A and B are shown apart, each in its own frame.
Chain A
Amino acid sequence: MLKQIVEVKDISKYFGTVAAVDHISFTVWPGEVLGLLGPNGAGKTTTIQLLLGLTTLTHGQIEILGMDIKTKRNEILQRVNFSSAYISLPSNLTVYENLVVFAKLYGIRHYRNKIMELLEFFDLLHILNSRTGMLSTGQMTRLNLTKSFINDPEIIFLDEPTASLDPEVASRVREKLKKIQIEKNVSMIYTSHNMNEVELMCNRVLFIANGKNVLEGTPKEIKEKSGSLEDVFISIARATNFQINNCKDERL
Chain B
Amino acid sequence: MISRITGILLRHLYLYQRSLVRWMELFFWPLMNLLLWGFLTYYLRNIEMPIAINYLIGAMILWDILYRSQQGITLSLTEEFWSKNIINIFITPIRTYELVIALCIIGFLKAFMTMGFLILISWYLYQFNLFDLGFSLAPFIGNLILFGWSIGMMTMSLVLRYGNAADAFIWGIPFLIQPISAVFYPVDVLPPFLKFCAYALPSTYIFEGMRTVLNEGVFNISLVYLSFCMNLLYLSAGAFYFSWMLRRVREKGLLSKTSIE
B-contacting residues of A (Cβ < 8 Å)?
13, 15, 20, 45-46, 49, 52-56, 74-75, 77-78, 80-82, 84, 86-94, 97, 100-107, 131, 147
Contacts and interface: CB of A to CB of B under 8 A. Distances in A.
A87 B14 contact: no
Contact of B93 (A75, A87, A88, A103): A75
A87 B87 contact: yes
Contacts of A55: 250-253, 255
B46 interface: no
B253 A93 contact: no
Interface residues of B, number: 32
Contacts of A53: 250
Contact of A54 (B85, B90, B247): B90
Interface in B82-97: 83-95
Contacts of B93: 74-75, 77-78, 105-107
Contacts of A87: 84-88, 256
B11 interface: yes
Contacts of B4: 104-105, 107
Instruction: Tell me the dominant secondary structure on chain A's binding face.
Output: mixed
6 contacts: A56-B247, A80-B91, A82-B88, A92-B83, A102-B92, A104-B7
A101 B3 CA distance: 9
Instruction: Tell me the dominant secondary structure on chain B's binding face.
Output: helix
A174 B19 CA distance: 36
B92 A105 contact: yes
B18 to A, nearest CB: 7
Q: Counting chain B CB atoms within 10 Å of each CB, which of A45, A87, A131, A147 scores highest?
A: A87
Contacts of B251: 55-56
A121 B19 CA distance: 31
B10 interface: yes
Contacts of B87: 54, 82, 84, 87
A87 B4 CA distance: 21
Contacts of A94: 14
A106 B89 CA distance: 10
A180 to B, nearest CB: 19
A81 B90 CA distance: 11
Q: Which 6 A-B pairs have the closest CB atoms?
A: A104-B7, A105-B7, A55-B253, A88-B84, A105-B92, A101-B11
B8 A105 contact: yes
A78 B250 CA distance: 19
Contacts of A102: 7, 88, 92
Contacts of A107: 3-4, 93
B253 A90 contact: no
B6 interface: yes
B132 interface: no
A105 B255 CA distance: 19
A184 to B, nearest CB: 19
A104 B6 contact: yes
A116 B252 CA distance: 39
B256 A90 contact: no
Interface in B159-215: none
Contacts of A20: 253
Contacts of A56: 247, 250-251
B85 A89 contact: yes
B25 interface: no
Contacts of B89: 105
